[in-house]
Amino acid sequence: MREQYRRKDPSTTPTPSTAQPGIHPPDPVPADLRALFGTDIRALVSAFVDTHQHSTDPELACALVATAGQLALAIRDSGGLGVDYKTSVSDVVTEADRAAEEFVAEALSALRPDDGLLGEEGAARESGSGRTWVIDPVDGTYNFTAGSDYFCSAIALVDGPPAAPTRVHFGAVHRPSHNTTHLGGPDLPTTVNGRAVDRLAEAPGAEISLATYIHPTFLADDAVRGAWLAVSTRFATLRMLGAGSIDLSGVAEGRFGAWTQHSVADWDWLPGRALVEGAGGVCRKVQAGGRTWCVAGNRLVVEEIISVWS
């Protein structure tokens, strides 16, 4: 199995997300903004807006996810999560999710008033510009509530309806526990904290890992289980960690070889899709087992997955 999916020599310097012991990237949130985390969200939004009046869209996206993610982490650390359940015990929402999305939505309403909004926790606004910001304030909320560091804040900017965008401009994903921010898109080479990732090298499933997720209830569905097994058993190993945007950033960065999941929400798909495409990868939606599956990876392995389901 290939431990590195781009480099021929795995002894080369680690990619940016491979943190060395005792070495941590600087805090991505300015001290004056961080000081407002315990206050009313409106004060934080006001200060953020003043700071980013002239930011480009990619700059704004990185600042939004960094601030939202660090805000969520601060709320968790304060003990004020307030967990509620949506559809099941594993489908949860917290006060941190709501506060982070409120921050992002209010900041965008002030800085990009003509653009549309679509957020996991209910933020929604019709677009007057043809552009829409797709927001996941905390991706991996179940992990987040359990105290895991495998969660992130994510955003994407698209043209057209998010379910079928005519263009994906870019995505940004911030992982608070690591202070890492991924940024990239089809026309914006993917970076981690400003450092470019290598372009994805082609490799078949048998030589790489598959990051994936399937809810236990779907393992009882013969059609869905069969589709998932037909693909997952072709890979050298599996990773199931529960935060799609981090998984997809890992594909873009070469930590995982490919990714697939069915019935993926726009906010769980678009930010990471943009990162994979910004690293030269391929992203597709495919019908199999009566469900729509999102697939991402290098061109060769995506074609392999599609051929299995054809």
Q: How far apart are CA 211 and CA 78, in angstroms?
A: 32
The 3-class SS string of the chain reads CCCCCCCCCCCCCCCCCCCCCCCCCCCCCCHHHHCCCCCCHHHHHHHHHHHCCCCCHHHHHHHHHHHHHHHHHHHHHHCCCCCEEEEECCEEECHHHHHHHHHHHHHHHHHCCCCEEEECCCCEECCCCCEEEEEEEEECHHHHHCCCCCCEEEEEEEECCCCCCCEEEEEEEEECCCCEEEEEECCEEEEECCEECCCCCCCCHHHCEEEECCCHHHHHCHHHHHHHHHHHCCCCEEECCCCHHHHHHHHHHCCCCEEEEECCCHHHHHHHHHHHHHCCCEEEEEEECCEEEEEEECHHHHHHHHHHHC
Residue 222 annotated as lining a ligand binding site: no
Q: Determine if residue 120 is labeled as part of a ligand binding site.
A: yes
Alpha carbon distances (Å) from 300 to 96, 115, 120: 39, 36, 32
Dist CA 255 CA 261 (whole Å): 17
User: Are 307 and 284 a contacting pair, CB within 8 Å?
Assistant: no
Residue 187 among known ligand-binding residues: no
| Among 151, 300, 140, residue whose Cα is nearest residue 235 | 300
| 139 among annotated binding-site residues | yes
* Distance from C-alpha of 39 to C-alpha of 296, rounded to nearest angstrom: 40
Annotated binding site: 120, 136, 139, 268
Annotated binding site for Mg(2+): 120, 136, 139, 268
